[in-house]
A = this chain, B = another copy of it.
Amino acid sequence: MRLDLSSWQEVQAYLGHRTDIIIPIGSHEQHGPNGLIGTDAICPEIVARTFGERDSVMIGPTLGIGVAQHHLGFAGSVALRPTTLIAVIRDVVASLTRHGFTHVLFHNGHGGNIATVQAAFAEIYGDYSFRGEPAPTHLRLGNWFMGRRVMSLTRELYGDSNGQHATANEVALTYHAHPDQVKSVTMSPKVAPNGRFRDAADYRTRFPDGRMGSDPSRATPADGARLLEAAVEDLRDGHRDFVAGG
């Protein structure tokens, strides 16, 4: 079920028998020479929506812009300050809590969001903890790219060249979602360098074409189809564990 395609009465009916929801969260930022700027939003969205359709779980609106300051040296990257994203998550959770949702699973596509989403959870829980009240809502963060099946399949498909940013597996998943957007680019070097980074200027110097440790030229729509299946299974496990109070 997609929240955006439901009427309020349909949501109300859903809430009559279950109170969990999944919020895809991602980023719009450079993904190397052949990756889409929307990669980190497209991936968790397609995984969540596919799972939601199959298992009749409510999927909320995608929070498509994230903590991406380090990519601002590449055209088209859009970033929120961490404190802004905390405010967004706080308001979204407050809205869902208002309706009686008790389990909100953020299904994430961007490593740069992880710290800030966890800080947001502490900010939200803290509102209750300072007042000495139990928080009514369970919050959890999951990352599609860190599921057991996805990681295993990624190793099988790309070995060491999946990399850290503009990875082969995420590019493959977006190619499956948007097969008309496959971009054929010769990578130079074949596999990008790896390492740490700080701000946008530093990132651009270290990773001139935007990739970190990856060879995304190996990505194919067919790989993406297999990755989607793996990711949906991983999400099903994670979601079951979450709802069960694990």
Contacts and interface: CB of A to CB of B under 8 A. Distances in A.
Interface of A: 2-12, 15, 28, 30-38, 41-42, 60-65, 67, 69-70, 72-84, 86-88, 90-92, 94-96, 98-100, 112, 114-116, 118-120, 122-123, 125-126, 128-135, 138-139, 178, 181, 183, 185, 196, 198-202, 210, 246
A4 B125 contact: no
Nearest to A141: B115
A201 to B, nearest CB: 4
A245 to B, nearest CB: 9
Given A3-B78, A61-B65, 10 more contacts: A4-B37, A4-B42, A5-B37, A5-B178, A7-B37, A8-B74, A72-B129, A84-B87, A115-B116, A138-B198
A122 B112 contact: yes
Nearest to A116: B119
Interface centre among A32, A62, A129, A138 (most CB of B within 10 A): A129
A101 to B, nearest CB: 9
